[in-house]
C-alpha cells in the first residue's frame, strides 16, 4: 500500500503544471473501475485494487454475459473498459467493437479496416493482435498491416491514419501501442522475415511521425549518444549498433519490437525489449548482434536511449527479448529502489535498477533451463552481465547442419509475450510459463524480401524428467530470484495473468479454463471451461457497483500452431510417439469474450 | 537463373499431365536415379528400407519442412489451429497441383475463413527443396515415417549436392 501511494504522488508531482495530453489516461489507469490500458497501468503490473471478488467468494463466480467476436483464430490481449464503454478487438481483420455496458453490451459502433489478406501469411505464427489502446477520447488500433489508426472513442470515426511499415517486406504488427504524453509509440514484427526492428512515435493528435529508433544500425538510426547511453554502466561508444555485426547483415538484423511497453513518468523513460537477431542460423551473423535481445530504456520525448542491457548476446536459440518489463518500487538489500523485472524467453528472470540499468538479479525461473549455467554478476569481470553458454547446447559451437538436442527452453521460451502480474500486497510476480525443450539444427538460408528467413529446423517436446506437462504457472520472488510456488499445467500457460486486492490471481489455459488461485499459496479456488483455448489476458472492471472479470477465448498463436497436434520427443525413440497430449483433443477454434461476476 | 528454368519446366509439366496422375500408385517407388526415387509415373516419392533407413530427400524434407512450413502448418505436417495438415495434402493432392499451390499460393478469404497460402515461387529456401518437402510429407501421410526426426538415412548423392548448389547459386 505504501508503494502505491508513493507512486500516485510521484505522478502528481511530475504531471502538475505540465498539462500533458495523457493526464486523462493516467487518472483512468488509477481508477480501478476502468481497465484503460492493456497492461493494467504504465508499470505493467496487471494489478487491480478491486476486491469485491476475493479469495473467500471467488468459488461462486458465474458467467454474467458473453460476446462472440465473429472471428476465429488466436485471440490475444483483452478488452478495455473506459467510461462504461467496452472496446473489444479481434485478430485479423482487426475489427473493433464498442459495447455500451449500460445497455447490456449493445454495439454502439464497429470498425473494420480494409486490409490486403496477403498480410496473413507473412505474420509468423497466426494473425493475433494484442489489443487497442485509449487516450484523450481516442481508441488506437495498430492493424496487422502496420497501419496505425486513431478512432473517436464515442463514434468510431477515423481521426487519423499512419502507415508504420511495409507488409510486402514482411513488416507486420501484432502488438498494442503505448499512448504516453502527446505521443503514440508503436513497435513492429517480422523477425522471421529479416525485418530490422524499430520503435516509432507518432503525434497523438495528428498521426505525424516524430521519431524512430531502430534496434541496430548507425548511431543516428538507433538514437544513442555514444558517451551518455550506457550498457551495464559503461558508455556504449560509437557504432555500437553496427560493430558487432559482419558486413551489412544488420540491415536485415531482426531485433523486432512486438512486445509490451512500460513507462516511468518521473524518469520520463519508457521500457521495452528487442527480439531475436535474424536469421536463426547463428553462423550467418558472427558477433554479439547488438542491440537485438536487449532491454531498452528510452526518453519519451526524443527516443534517445538512456541505457541498454543485452541479455542474450549472439542468440543461438530464438530467445526474443520482447517480454514485458514490470516496474515496481521495492526494498532490496535494505534500500528502496525503482526496479524493473523481466521474464525473458531465455528462461532467466532479471531484476534491474530501472533508473541506472544496473543488473541486480538474474536467475532461472524454470529449473529445466540448461543452455546457460547463469549470468556473470561480477561488475569487474570481462564477461559481466553475460550468460555462460553450455557448449553442449550451443548451436553456434556445434555448428551448421548439426542437430543440437535437449536444449531447454525451446524457441518459444520459458515464457513468451503472455504477461505476468505483480501484487504489491504479496510482492510476488505471477508468471505464466512454458515448460518445453527442443532440438535445434541451424543451416544456411538466403534472404528474399518478404519471404521467411528462418534458417533452422526445430523439434519441440515437454521438458524431460519433469511432470510431463508443457507449462507451469509460478509465483516468483523478484528480490531473491526464487520460485515461491509452481502449478504444473498440461499445456503451456499462454494467457496473461491478473492479480487483485481480493488476494487472488487469475489466468487462462490452452484447454480453455479460466482459473483463480490463492495469491499466497497457489491453491486453486475456481475453474470454468470457456468455449475455446485461452491465449488472451484476464482483465477486471466495475460497473454499476459490481465487479466483473473478462477474458477472450480463441485458440491460436504460436501455441495453437505448435501444440495443436501434440508434441513428441524425437529422442525418446519410437515408443513415445503420440504419447503426449494434443491440444486438438481439448479445444477448437473460437472467438468469444466471457464476462464473469458474483451472483446477485 | 537455373531456378527460373526449373520453375518454368514444372509449370509446363503441370499443365500437361495433371489429369492422369490420380489413378496410379502415387506412393511406391518404381525406380531410382542418383539417390532420388520415382513412381512409375515419374513422380518423386520416398523410399524406406525395412530397417527404417530413409532416402536423403525424405530426411532433407524433414529439415526444410520444419524451417519453412512448420511455423504455420505445425510440426511434422500434422496441421495446426492456423493451417491445414500438409501430410494429408501431399497424399490427396496431385503432385503438380501441390507444386502449383506452393509456387503461386492460394487464398480462401470469406466471412468465416481467412486462409492465405503465400506464393513461394521466388524463395530459393523453399523452391530448391520443394521435392524434398513433398516427399517427406507424402511419407508422413502414408505413415511410413513416424513423427520426429528420421533416424537412419541414405547418404546425400553427389548429383543431389550439385543440383542443390546450382539451384541456390552457390
Q: What is the pLDDT of residues B144-153, one digit of tens each?
A: 998 888 889 9
Beta strand ranges found along B8-136 (DSSP E) = 31-33, 36-38, 44-45, 106-109, 114-117
Q: How far is B41 from chain A (nearest CA, A)?
A: 31
pLDDT higher than 60, residue A8 = no
pLDDT higher than 90, residue B40 = yes
* Helix-then-strand count for chain A, H and E: 5, 40
Q: Please identify which residue in the block is written with the cell numbers 538484423.
A: A253
Q: What pLDDT band is residue B114 in, cutting at 50, 70 and 90?
A: confident
Cell numbers that stand for A563 in this block: 501444440
Please write down the HEC assignment for all residues of A525-593: EEEEECCCCCCCECEEEEECCEEEEEEEECCCHHHHHHHCCCCCCHHHCHHHCCCCCCHHHCCCCCCEE
pLDDT for A3: 46
* Start-to-end CA span in chain B (Å): 12
Least confident range from A333-337, B122-126, B129-133: namely: B122-126
pLDDT higher than 50, residue B18 = no
DSSP A116-168: -GGGGGGSTT-------EEETTEEEEE-TTSEEEEEETTT--EEEEEE---GG
Q: Give the rounded percent of residues in chain B with a pLDDT score beyond 90.
A: 62
Number of Cβ pairs < 8 A linking chain A and chain B: 122
Q: Is A443 exposed, middle or buried (0-12, 13-18, 19+ CB in 10 A)?
A: buried
Q: What number is the average pLDDT over the span B122-136?
A: 95
Residue A564 contacts residue B78 (beta carbons within 8 Å): yes
Residue A560 contacts residue A533 (beta carbons within 8 Å): yes
For testing contact with chain A, the best of B66, B81, B113 (most A CBs within 10 A): B81
Output phi, psi for B53, to 5 deg: -65, 125
DSSP A310-359: ESSSS-SS-----S-EEEEEEEETTEEEEEEEEE-TTSEEEEEETTT--E
Residue A96 contacts residue A176 (beta carbons within 8 Å): no
pLDDT for A450: 81
Q: Please identify which residue in the block is written with the cell numbers 543488473.
A: A359
pLDDT per position as a tens digit, A471-482? 999 999 999 999
Catalytic positions of A are: 318
**What is the distance between the alpha carbons of residues A315 and A574, in angstroms, rounded to a whole number?**
32
Q: What pLDDT band is residue B89 in, cutting at 50, 70 and 90?
A: very high
- Give the DSSP letter of residue A511: T
- Can you tell me the ipTM of this complex? 0.77
401-420 of A, contacting B, C-beta below 8 A: 403
pLDDT for B154: 95
Q: Is there a contact between B63 and A120 if contact means CB atoms under 8 Å apart?
A: no
Q: Which residue of B lies nearest to A555 if distances are taken between CA atoms?
A: B81
Q: What is the pTM of this model?
A: 0.91
User: Helix (H, G, I), strand (E, B), or coil: what is residue A384?
Assistant: coil
Residue of A93, A439, A564 lying closest to B81 (CB–CB): A564
Q: What number is the average pLDDT over the span A166-173?
A: 93
532-561 of A, contacting B, C-beta below 8 A: 555-556, 560-561
- Give the DSSP letter of residue A171: -
**What is the distance between the alpha carbons of residues A475 and A164, in angstroms, rounded to a whole number?**
37
Output phi, psi for A28, to 5 deg: -70, -35
- Give the DSSP letter of residue A253: -
* Residues from chain B contacting residue A577 (CB–CB below 8 Å): 146-148
Q: What number is the average pLDDT over the span A1-12?
A: 44
* Residues from chain A contacting residue B66 (CB–CB below 8 Å): 457-459
User: Helix (H, G, I), strand (E, B), or coil: what is residue A283?
Assistant: helix
pLDDT for A595: 98
CB atoms within 10 A of CB A104: 8
More confident site: A551 or A1: A551
* Start-to-end CA span in chain A (Å): 30
Dihedral in degrees, nearest 10, Cα atoms B126, B132, B133, B136: -170
Least confident range from A277-291, A455-469, B18-32: namely: B18-32
Residue B44 contacts residue B57 (beta carbons within 8 Å): yes
More confident site: A557 or B54: B54
**What is the distance between the alpha carbons of residues A113 and A150, in angstroms, rounded to a whole number?**
12
Alpha-helical segments (H) within A393-550: 395-398
Instruction: Output the average pLDDT for chain B.
Output: 85
Q: What pLDDT band is residue A6 in, cutting at 50, 70 and 90?
A: very low
Q: What number is the average pLDDT over the span B6-21?
A: 44
Q: What pLDDT band is residue B71 in, cutting at 50, 70 and 90?
A: confident
Q: Please identify which residue in the block is written with the cell numbers 510476480.
A: A429
Q: Is A543 exposed, middle or buried (0-12, 13-18, 19+ CB in 10 A)?
A: middle
B148: left (phi over 0), alpha (psi -120 to 50) or beta: left
Q: What pLDDT band is residue A448 in, cutting at 50, 70 and 90?
A: confident
pLDDT per position as a tens digit, A561-570? 877 767 766 5
**β-sheet bridge partners, residue A597:** A62
Residue A556 contacts residue A75 (beta carbons within 8 Å): yes
pLDDT higher than 50, residue A573 = no
More confident site: A575 or B36: B36
User: Helix (H, G, I), strand (E, B), or coil: what is residue B42?
Assistant: coil
- Strands of the sheet containing A138-142, edge to edge, are A133-135, A138-142, A147-152, A158-163
Output phi, psi for A122, to 5 deg: -90, 5
Q: Which residue of A lies nearest to B65 if distances are taken between CA atoms?
A: A457
Q: What pLDDT band is residue A1 in, cutting at 50, 70 and 90?
A: very low
pLDDT higher than 50, residue A512 = yes
pLDDT per position as a tens digit, A386-401? 999 999 999 999 999 8
C-alpha distances in angstroms, B130 versus A587, B58, B121, B126, B149?
Answer: 33, 11, 10, 6, 18
CB atoms within 10 A of CB B108: 11
pLDDT for B143: 94
Q: What pLDDT band is residue A585 in, cutting at 50, 70 and 90?
A: confident
CB distance from A72 to chain B under 8 Å?
yes
Q: Is there a contact between B75 and A452 if contact means CB atoms under 8 Å apart?
A: no
Residue B127 contacts residue B7 (beta carbons within 8 Å): yes
pLDDT for A21: 63
More confident site: A571 or A430: A430
pLDDT higher than 80, residue B120 = yes
pLDDT for A301: 97
Least confident range from A20-34, A232-246, A503-517: namely: A20-34
CB distance from B81 to chain A under 8 Å?
yes
pLDDT for A584: 84
pLDDT for A124: 67
Instruction: Output the average pLDDT for chain A.
Output: 93
pLDDT higher than 60, residue B22 = no
B76: left (phi over 0), alpha (psi -120 to 50) or beta: left
Domains of chain A: 2-50+58-597 (2.140.10.10)
CB distance from B84 to chain A under 8 Å?
no
For testing contact with chain A, the best of B70, B82, B120 (most A CBs within 10 A): B82
Q: List Cβ neighbours of A438 (8 Å cut-off, separation of 6 or more).
A: A317, A407, A408, A409, A410, A411, A458, A459, A460, A461
Q: Is there a contact between B66 and A457 if contact means CB atoms under 8 Å apart?
A: yes
Sign of CA dihedral A189, A259, A555, B76: positive
Least confident range from A101-105, A132-136, A166-170: namely: A166-170
pLDDT for A572: 52
Strands A325-332 and A335-343: antiparallel
Q: Give the rounded percent of residues in chain A with a pLDDT score beyond 90.
A: 82
pLDDT per position as a tens digit, A35-86? 999 999 999 999 999 999 999 999 999 999 999 999 988 999 999 999 999 9
Q: What number is the average pLDDT over the span B54-81?
A: 91
pLDDT for A569: 62
Q: Is there a contact between A403 and B124 if contact means CB atoms under 8 Å apart?
A: no
Cell numbers that stand for B151 in this block: 533416424
Amino acid at each position: 500500500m505504501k508503494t502505491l501511494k508513493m507512486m500516485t504522488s510521484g505522478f502528481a508531482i511530475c504531471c502538475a503544471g505540465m498539462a500533458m495530453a495523457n493526464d486523462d489516461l493516467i487518472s483512468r489507469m488509477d481508477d480501478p473501475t476502468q481497465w484503460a490500458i492493456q497492461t493494467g497501468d504504465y508499470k505493467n503490473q496487471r494489478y487491480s485494487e478491486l476486491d469485491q471478488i476475493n479469495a473467500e467468494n471467488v468459488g461462486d463466480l458465474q458467467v454474467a454475459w458473453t460476446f462472440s467476436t465473429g472471428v476465429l483464430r488466436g485471440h490475444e490481449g483483452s478488452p478495455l473498459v473506459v467510461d462504461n464503454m467496452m472496446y473489444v478487438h479481434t485478430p485479423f481483420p482487426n475489427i473493433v467493437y464498442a459495447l455500451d455496458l449500460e445497455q447490456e453490451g449493445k454495439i454502439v459502433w464497429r470498425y473494420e479496416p480494409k486490409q490486403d489478406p496477403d498480410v496473413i501469411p507473412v505474420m509468423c505464427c497466426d494473425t493475433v493482435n494484442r489489443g487497442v489502446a485509449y487516450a484523450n477520447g481516442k481508441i488506437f488500433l495498430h492493424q496487422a498491416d502496420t497501419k496505425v489508426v486513431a478512432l473517436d472513442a464515442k463514434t468510431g470515426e477515423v481521426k487519423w491514419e499512419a502507415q508504420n511499415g511495409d507488409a510486402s517486406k514482411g513488416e507486420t504488427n501484432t502488438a498494442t501501442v503505448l499512448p504516453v504524453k502527446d505521443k503514440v509509440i508503436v513497435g513492429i514484427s517480422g523477425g522471421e522475415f529479416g525485418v530490422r526492428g524499430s520503435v516509432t512515435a507518432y503525434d497523438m493528435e495528428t498521426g505525424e511521425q516524430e521519431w524512430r529508433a531502430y534496434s541496430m544500425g548507425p548511431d543516428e538510426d538507433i538514437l544513442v549518444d555514444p558517451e551518455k547511453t550506457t550498457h551495464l554502466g559503461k558508455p556504449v561508444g560509437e557504432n555500437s549498433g553496427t560493430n558487432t555485426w559482419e558486413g551489412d547483415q544488420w540491415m536485415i538484423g531482426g531485433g523486432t519490437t512486438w512486445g509490451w511497453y512500460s513507462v516511468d513518468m518521473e524518469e520520463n523513460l519508457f521500457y521495452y525489449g528487442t527480439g531475436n537477431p535474424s536469421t536463426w542460423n547463428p553462423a550467418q551473423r558472427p558477433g554479439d548482434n547488438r542491440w537485438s535481445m536487449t532491454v531498452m530504456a528510452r526518453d519519451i520525448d526524443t527516443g534517445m536511449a538512456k541505457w541498454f542491457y543485452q541479455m542474450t548476446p549472439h542468440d543461438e536459440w530464438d530467445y526474443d527479448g520482447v517480454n514485458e518489463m514490470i516496474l515496481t518500487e521495492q526494498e532490496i538489500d535494505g534500500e528502496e529502489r525503482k526496479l524493473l523485472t523481466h521474464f525473458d524467453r531465455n528462461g532467466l528472470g532479471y531484476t534491474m535498477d530501472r533508473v541506472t540499468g544496473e543488473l541486480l538479479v538474474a536467475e532461472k525461473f524454470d529449473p529445466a533451463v540448461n543452455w546457460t549455467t547463469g549470468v556473470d554478476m561480477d561488475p569487474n569481470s570481462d564477461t559481466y552481465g553475460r550468460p555462460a553458454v553450455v557448449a553442449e547446447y550451443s548451436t553456434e559451437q556445434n555448428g551448421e547442419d548439426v542437430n543440437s538436442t535437449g536444449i531447454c527452453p525451446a524457441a518459444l521460451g520459458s515464457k513468451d509475450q503472455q504477461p505476468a502480474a505483480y501484487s504489491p500486497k504479496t510482492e510476488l510476480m505471477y508468471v505464466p510459463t512454458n515448460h518445453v525443450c527442443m532440438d535445434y539444427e541451424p543451416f544456411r538460408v538466403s534472404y528474399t524480401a518478404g519471404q521467411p528467413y528462418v534458417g533452422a529446423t526445430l523439434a519441440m517436446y515437454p521438458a524431460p524428467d519433469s511432470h510431463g506437462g508443457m507449462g507451469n504457472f509460478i509465483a516468483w520472488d523478484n528480490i531473491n530470484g526464487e520460485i515461491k510456488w509452481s502449478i504444473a499445467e498440461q499445456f503451456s500457460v499462454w494467457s496473461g495473468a491478473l492479480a487483485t486486492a481480493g488476494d487472488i490471481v487469475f489466468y487462462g489455459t490452452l484447454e480453455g479454463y479460466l482459473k483463480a488461485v490463492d495469491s499466497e499459496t497457489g491453491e486453486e479456488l475456481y475453474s470454468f471451461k470457456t468455449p475455446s483455448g485461452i491465449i488472451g489476458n484476464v482483465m477486471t472492471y466495475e460497473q454499476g457497483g459490481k465487479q466483473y472479470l473478462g477474458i477472450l477465448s480463441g485458440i491460436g498463436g504460436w501455441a495453437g500452431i505448435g501444440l495443436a497436434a501434440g508434441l513428441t520427443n524425437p529422442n525418446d525413440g519410437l515408443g513415445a510417439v503420440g504419447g503426449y497430449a494434443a491440444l486438438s483433443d481439448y479445444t477448437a477454434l473460437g472467438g468469444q469474450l466471457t464476462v464473469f461476476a458474483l451472483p446477485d | 537463373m537455373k531456378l527460373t528454368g526449373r520453375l518454368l519446366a514444372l509449370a509446363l509439366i503441370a499443365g500437361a499431365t495433371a489429369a492422369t496422375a490420380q489413378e496410379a500408385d502415387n506412393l511406391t517407388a518404381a525406380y531410382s536415379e542418383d539417390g532420388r526415387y520415382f513412381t512409375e509415373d515419374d513422380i518423386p516419392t520416398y523410399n524406406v528400407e525395412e530397417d527404417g533407413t530413409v532416402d536423403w530427400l525424405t530426411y532433407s524434407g524433414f529439415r526444410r519442412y520444419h524451417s519453412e512450413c512448420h511455423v504455420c502448418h505445425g510440426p511434422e505436417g500434422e496441421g495446426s489451429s492456423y493451417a491445414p495438415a500438409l501430410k494429408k495434402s501431399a497424399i490427396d493432392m496431385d503432385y503438380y497441383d501441390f507444386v502449383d499451390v506452393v509456387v503461386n499460393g492460394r487464398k480462401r478469404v470469406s466471412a468465416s475463413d481467412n486462409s492465405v497460402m503465400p506464393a513461394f515461387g521466388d524463395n530459393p529456401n523453399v523452391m530448391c527443396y520443394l521435392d524434398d518437402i513433398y516427399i517427406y510429407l507424402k511419407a508422413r501421410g502414408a505413415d511410413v515415417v513416424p513423427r520426429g526426426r528420421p533416424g537412419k538415412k541414405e547418404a546425400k548423392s553427389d548429383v543431389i549436392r550439385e543440383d542443390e548448389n546450382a539451384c541456390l547459386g552457390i
